[in-house]
Structure 1
Amino acid sequence: MVGFPAARMTDMHTCPMCMGAPFPIMPPAFPTVMIGGLPAARMTDLCACLIPALVPIPSVDPIAFGSPTVLIGGQPAARQFDPTMKGGAIILGLPTVLIGIVATPAPGEPGALTIWEEVLPDGSTVTHVGPNITITGTKAFRDAVVQDLQRLDSTPSGQALLTSLSAPGKGPVTIVATTGGNAVDGTEAGANVNPDGTPGPGSGSTLHYNPNKTQIGDGSQPYMTRPPAVALGHELNHCEQAQNGTWTNDSTGGTNNNELEAVGLPPYQNNPHSENNIRKDLGQPPRTKY
């Protein structure tokens, strides 16, 4: 069972509103349950926040997710990396107390992912996310991917993408680690559009993911620095294209159509779970070119 460090009152979080600065989980949390000498934090407990303005305005950021298998005072226990309502995350917890990885949403928020681990016959461990996504590699890598998938699932666009990828009969998606750039390969012929232009039968794929890569291009434009979850969402769009049999070599204006669709650039600006829609949900600047 994967676990994350338990979050407590005064442990730090950050969000886009905080402009990257850390702010603590606020009192009272749950004062009758102490973890490492501090009150336990739970889903719906409040984090301090700061709305950037000419005159800073104190604000709050509710914790959006928690562990459904560990209830404290009737609410799911919060952990390091659990998201907050304003698109942030808890960034600190007590490393000697680990709480189960599966997250559940606050009322009205996007749904929780189904996550579990499997030990394979060769002794290695993989993490499954829903029926079609499997993460291989070290525990640290698998946990990082789950964190980014949870962040995607906390947005309407990201959740729609993950729901599509998890549909019955869709090809499997295997996520593996890379220290280079992100990419998708490992498809079969069914991933490609048929010669007559109709979709192929679909295929599984392999997604090579670097959870530490935050820059694209030369970093000179605001959109070129992005959270890793945005990059993961982009690549998962390619996995969905493979599942749907719509991989193509066709291009528009010299750019491959699959890339334009994944980003959400014309003529595919209406792709409901494109990179740009995920960016919008997370308060990130739109990507203007590929």
Structure 2
Amino acid sequence: MRLFIIPISTRRALIYARPLRREHAKDLSILDRITNKAAETWAKWEEADKGWKKHLVLWGNRVQQRIPYEEWGLKSIPSLNAQRRLDESYGSKKIDVLFPGNAIKTEKLQSMLYKIATDRQDLHRKRMWWSFIACPITAPIGLIPLVPNIPFFYLAYRGWSHWRALNGSKHLEYLVEKGLLNPISLPALERLYAKRVSRALKKSDVEQPASSMVEDVEKSDDRLLLRMDDAKKLASMLEAPELALEAERAIIQVEEKLQQDGASRDQDVKKDSHKEKDL
């Protein structure tokens, strides 16, 4: 397994683990096989021109876009048990963590990863149990002829999703606490982020040393670094095709959050100015 840390903005990053390779398919757990089968079925439904399958896919894709990118990132990390099934010696050597050293300080990487691993554990645990407990309540809907039990499948999916994210977060926490991470600042990522950081911070010198550039990132407010077309570049660069979709989703969500934060600040400034006038 190899981890990637992709800064989306100067304050937010996506974590992504390269998925299990296809030659290991025979070692997948029953749950992973079911998941793969469900993904194949969903892909076939996406080809439908009309009918309930088409409507369900459109609704499902909208739901998936609203799932936080942090959850998707943690879900990409296999459970510790799954990784040990593939490699009995897992845990005896370090895992490479690729990142751009001119956008993230190497000395802060460990604390960043620990925060990513632990921040959402309680949320995923609570929502996982809530989803699984609520599933049986929706089961009677399945008795209605020719009507798919969408509430049941949605709750089951969300429960599974939170379960995967929780396992991924625990695996990442284990790697951080055991000192099993090997940070590597990848030159290709540094070249891409040199341009993106310079643009975001309105700096003209893309040849600025990494140590100097990352200091500028630290001092800046939260600004978007990546564009949508960067997602496929990253996927190609890191030889991880699935990363493109994850990065696109993260860029959209972070951009929306920054716009909301900016609008809130503008409203606060207007309120303060009105108060000063009243005084």
TM-score over 0.5 (shorter chain): no
Q: TM-score, normalised by structure 1?
A: 0.23
In terms of fraction of residues, the more helix-rich structure is 2
The higher relative CO (CA closer than 8 Å, separation ≥ 6) is in: 2
Name which one, 1 or 2, has greater alpha-carbon Rg: 2
Q: TM-score, normalised by structure 2?
A: 0.24
In terms of fraction of residues, the more strand-rich structure is 1
